[in-house]
Structure 1
Amino acid sequence: MPGLAVPTWDPETALLIGVILLEAVALYAGYGGLERLFGPYLMDLLVGGESSAQ
């Protein structure tokens, strides 16, 4: 039957997919950390301190 064949994985392709996924996780965590460190400062700088005024 067409369409029911199980594809075989090339080890190099699997390694490339794994590296791309690890890079994505590292970038996500890195940018999240930068946002936590510099986000409030940048918001105060760009908005002019309105975010902390109530």
Structure 2
Amino acid sequence: MPGLEIPTWDPETALLIGTILLEAIVLYVGYGGLERLFGPYLMNLLVGGESNAQ
């Protein structure tokens, strides 16, 4: 049947995809940590009050 064949992976392509995925995870965790550390301070600095305003 057409469309059901298993693709062959080029090792360079697999390495590139893995590198991009790892970079995305590192950035996600890194920016999340920075937001937790500096988020409340920046909200107070920019808005002048609580970040949980209702």
Same fold (TM over 0.5): yes
Q: Deviations over 1:14-54 (max 9, x none)?
A: 000000000000000110011011000000011112x178x
2:19 corresponding residue in structure 1: 19
Q: Distance in 1 between matches of 2:44 and 2:4?
A: 57
Paired amino acid for 1:43: M
Where does structure 1 lack aligned partners over 5 or more consecutive residues?
none
Aligned length: 52
Superposed, which structure 2 residues align to 1:1-54 within 5 Å? Answer: 1-49=1-49, 51=50
Alignment RMSD, CA only? 1.6
Percent identity of equivalent pairs: 85
Q: Distance in 1 between matches of 2:34 and 2:11?
A: 34
Compute the TM-score of the two structures, normalised by the length of structure 2.
0.87
